[in-house]
Chains A and B, each alone.
Chain A
Amino acid sequence: MEIRKTRWNLKKNGILYVMLIPAFALLAIFSYYPLYGLVIAFQNFMPGKGFWGSQWVGLRNFRMFFMMPDGLQVVRNTFVIAVSKIIFGNLTSIVFALLLNEVRVLRYKRMVQTLVYLPHFLSWVVVGGVFIDLLGSRGIVNLILSLFGAKPVAFLGNASIFPVTIVVTDIWKGFGWGAIIYLAALSNVDVQLYEAAIIDGANKWQQVFYITIPALLPTIAVVYTLALGNVLNAGFEQVLMLYNPVVYSTGDIIDTYTYRAGLEQFRYSYSAAVGMFKSVVAGALIILSYRLVYRYSDYRIF
């Protein structure tokens, strides 16, 4: 009986493995196979000589990155931009979610949501193009500023302003979408809590501070912890769209630096080394953040 059942399973379930073949074959080719190209980070790679013919140089490419002034600068720029985005972006989403949560007219609420989610669905080429026009010297933002008597601001051409522009435009694109998770958490708050609080004489502010915000805290904690894995993701597509050599000192990030070193200057090995440094650090941070979240919350991914 036992044996018959197993055989039935094997015959029937063999197809399960067959179904897995296409996806795993694609992963093998496009995700796992290129990983062995990471060895070029430890070489002085020449495309003509191939992986095995190129000279081995150990950690020289990594040392070069950290010894050159632009190496540290790029790491710092990346970190500053990414962390600002995480902190201020989520803060904007939280405040927006709290305000929207107070809206009682459902149609109005839905209309606001439709409009603020829209930028999330536009590509960075489009959004970049839009802001290049809006923030240019003859753009509408500078026109409005001039109405108040302000001098034109080079939002994209001034190294000390550029990171702010990057963070603000990123918030513009993403805060509405980022608020969804908080709105979902708010919609789960038990209405009875508010009713009880009103009976106890709590006013609106007290309700917000003692019920709404505490209800959001677990979500906020999870979002900020998971964001740990993103402290080196400053937004490659966005920066690539908006930056220019004038703002490299504050606006060049690891990803754009890797891109230029590799595909514009053809320093393949150096580019691979910098990219590898980033993925190792980011990978470690992601694992750390998931462990923290697993330990301190009931959020589960798998």
Chain B
Amino acid sequence: MHATKGEKVFQGINYGLLAVVSLICLFPMIHIIALSFSHSAYVAANMVTFWPVKPHILNYKFIFEHTSMVTNMMMSIQRVLVGTAVNIFLVLITAYPLSYDGTELKGRNTLMWILVVPMFLHAGLIPNYILISRLGLMDSLWALILPGAVTIWNIIMMQNFFRSMPRELHEAALIDGAGHLTVLFRILVPLNLAAIATLSLFCAVNHWNAWFDGMIYIRHPQKMPVQTALRSLMKVTAHIVGQERFYTPEELAMLSDRSLTCAKIAFTTLPILVIYPFVQRFFVKGVIIGAVKG
């Protein structure tokens, strides 16, 4: 194909424009990270853009020594692992029966309705809050996992995947005497590993990023997930007050509330930033399957 001069100019501008757009998406995070490593004098003087100025790691030292954020990070990791496992287990054992027709699973239609209605009809904040506290789940990890344990949309997607598998596969195994659990975990799960991996990633990100439930159901600061802890720490304006005795005057000069807040943001985001480049393509695949799937 022969490109005209106009097309070449357009291509040049387009590549440049997309570079700027990409930079706009990345820059805020880079800027925050740069601030988190910079000397407070330069932070205050607005002399930090892409790179840390007079870099130091005192802000991070402060996080490790004088905040509960490491504990909160552990709570988040626990939540992600347990929460995702619960989500996916429920997706599998629920999607499998629902992938059968009404002739094999009597009442399938009714069951589907019961499953779908909660997607649109929510009781709202107050009844849920009352329920969680009556169940004695306040301050418990389960308050963050159980209410959202049934990921309705994922179940619908998964049963679509199961339905698209050739029927002979199950039937042959069932006639040979295999039980439904064997069919599900020995045949269907291995064949749908890519889809299951993608759903797991989405569940994991949702658990990692959730913070509002932690804000209303967890009162004990040590038990909060890290995102919730970050939010409550951002409400504090004077972080360093009371901690001065742990630092030399030179060190205190390097610290500031602003760069400390930036360090907390960066610390919270670190796991996502590290894992994201490697798993990004799975997410995209998942969205495209979900969107194109009819």
Which residues does A use to contact B, with CB under 8 Å? Answer: 9, 12-13, 15-17, 19-20, 22-24, 26-27, 29-38, 40, 47, 96, 99-100, 102-104, 108, 111-119, 121-126, 129-134, 138, 140, 143, 172, 176-177, 180-181, 184, 198, 203-204, 236-237, 240-241, 258-259, 262-263, 268, 271-272, 275-276, 279, 282-283, 286-287, 298-302
A3 CB, min distance to chain B CBs, angstroms:
16
Beyond A34-B131, A262-B126, whether A126 also contacts B120 by CB under 8 A is no
Q: A302, B25: Cβ atoms under 8 Å? A: no
Per CB-CB distance, the 8 closest pairs between chain A and chain B, nearest first, are: A37-B127, A34-B123, A123-B209, A31-B118, A275-B124, A16-B97, A34-B127, A115-B22
A20 CB, min distance to chain B CBs, angstroms:
5
B49, B227, B276: the one contacting A125 at CB < 8 Å is B227
Chain B interface size, under 10 / 10 to 19 / 20 to 34 / 35 or more: 35 or more
Which residues does B use to contact A, with CB under 8 Å? Answer: 1, 4, 6-7, 10-11, 14-15, 17-19, 21-26, 28-29, 31-32, 35, 44, 46, 49, 90, 93-94, 96-98, 100, 104-105, 111-112, 114-116, 118, 120-131, 146-147, 149-150, 155-156, 174, 179-181, 205, 208-212, 216, 227-228, 230-231, 234, 258, 261-262, 264-265, 268-269, 272, 276-277, 280, 283-284, 287-288, 291-292, 294
Q: B90, A23: Cβ atoms under 8 Å? A: yes
Q: A298, B294: Cβ atoms under 8 Å? A: yes
Q: How far is the CA of A300 from the CA of B15 in the complex (A)?
A: 36
Beyond A19-B96, A133-B35, A133-B258, whether A112 also contacts B21 by CB under 8 A is yes
Q: B28, A129: Cβ atoms under 8 Å? A: no
Beyond A9-B104, A22-B93, A301-B156, whether A133 also contacts B14 by CB under 8 A is no
Q: Can you sample 19 A-B contacts with CB below 8 Å?
A: A12-B180, A20-B97, A26-B146, A31-B122, A37-B128, A117-B284, A118-B29, A124-B211, A125-B227, A125-B230, A129-B230, A130-B32, A133-B262, A138-B44, A184-B287, A241-B231, A258-B125, A262-B129, A287-B120
Q: A118, B126: Cβ atoms under 8 Å? A: no
Give chain A's interface secondary structure class: helix
B29, B94, B105: the one contacting A13 at CB < 8 Å is B105
Q: How far is the CA of A111 from the CA of B123 in the complex (A)?
A: 42
A15, A40, A131, A240: the one contacting B127 at CB < 8 Å is A40
- Of A125, A129, A272, most buried by chain B (CB within 10 Å of CB) is A125
A24 CB, min distance to chain B CBs, angstroms:
7
Q: How far is the CA of A15 from the CA of B182 in the complex (A)?
A: 12
Q: B22, A112: Cβ atoms under 8 Å? A: yes
Q: B18, A24: Cβ atoms under 8 Å? A: no
Q: B100, A134: Cβ atoms under 8 Å? A: no
A197 CB, min distance to chain B CBs, angstroms:
12
Q: How far is the CA of A29 from the CA of B19 in the complex (A)?
A: 49
Q: B265, A130: Cβ atoms under 8 Å? A: yes
Residues of chain B within 8 A of A258, CB atoms compared: 124-125
Q: How far is the CA of A31 from the CA of B115 in the complex (A)?
A: 10
Residues of chain A within 8 A of B216, CB atoms compared: 263
Q: A271, B126: Cβ atoms under 8 Å? A: yes
